[in-house]
Amino acid sequence: MPCTVHTTQASFIPARGEELTVSPSWKSKARRAAQLAVQACVRPEDGPVGGHLELTGDVPLCRGFGSSTSDVLAAIWAVQDAFVAPLPPEAVARIAVCAETASDSLMFKESSVLFAQREGKVIEDFGYRMPAVRVLGFGSRPENEGKGIDTLAFPPARYDSTEIEDFAELHAMLREAIHTKDVALVGAVASASTAINQRHLPIPLLDSLRVIERETGALGIQTAHSGDIAGLLYDRDDPEVDARTEHGRRLLHNIGIHEQWIFTTGD
């Protein structure tokens, strides 16, 4: 889901020569993305081009906020802006996957897509943006104290045949939800996906969260499949959305979840 709570900014200054540096120096994925973007934007006959990439931002690491993809995309877009050589989203996706192995689909801004994150390919373009929802986000594992999940040490989920069949049904449900702008159906898809993920990266307090979902009239529960954040989804256009969200905040506090944030997708 598009989230504006945290952001990443990048600037790129080209320079002759092959050396390309990045600050902070440990942002190796962003540096690799910038190198690949330079190759895509510069003609071979122009000779080697390097430069310096500067990254700033506040996206938390290892939480499920897409910190790596944010860095990588900011780097690619900074390079294309520097050379005034816009790259199509499909090219950006290929570069992003080469740079970070698996990428989120944030490069597709105009519509929602089903995205093969390790191949950089769009499986289906749903043609429209996902209908806007209010999100009450929170840290789903309070005992982690915001430390997140080591995604490099965490093995990718291996889904069984039943789960794969369930995902096929959710795919069809999501297509219908987007085409009909049915926010309740979006919530149902999110909750079903969260339930599947319990076998692979369980949320310890899910039963309590489901009680809060019902009591506050939330549309569903979404979770990061490789992080430690989740969210209760509400209908943005519900006249009672503010009261429902505030009630949800209080109930989350009551079960020990104090790290919270609120945003609306599409804003």
pLDDT of 123 > 60? The answer is yes
pLDDT digit string, tens, across residues 5-45? 889 999 999 999 889 999 999 999 999 999 999 999 998 88
Is 8-125 in CATH node 1.10.260.40? no
| pLDDT (average), residues 72-100 | 96
- Where does the pLDDT of residue 141 fall: very low under 50, low under 70, confident under 90, or very high at 90 and above? confident
- Please state the domain extents for the chain: 8-125, 133-264
pLDDT of residue 154: 64
Is 133-264 in CATH node 3.30.70.890? yes
- Where does the pLDDT of residue 135 fall: very low under 50, low under 70, confident under 90, or very high at 90 and above? very high
pLDDT of residue 98: 95
pLDDT digit string, tens, across residues 203-262? 889 999 999 999 999 999 999 887 889 999 999 999 999 999 999 999 999 999 999 999
pLDDT digit string, tens, across residues 162-197? 999 999 999 999 999 999 999 999 999 999 999 999
The DSSP annotation for the chain comes to ----SS-EEEEEEEEESS-EEEESTT-HHHHHHHHHHHHHHS-GGG--EEEEEEEEE-PPTTSSS-HHHHHHHHHHHHHHHHHT----HHHHHHHHHHHHSS--STT--SS-EEEETTTTEEEEE-SSPPPPEEEEEEES-GGGTT----TTTSPPP---HHHHHHHHHHHHHHHHHHHHT-HHHHHHHHHHHHHHHTTTS--TTHHHHHHHHHHHT-SEEEE-TTSSEEEEEEETT-TTHHHHHHHHHHHHHHTT---EEEEETT-
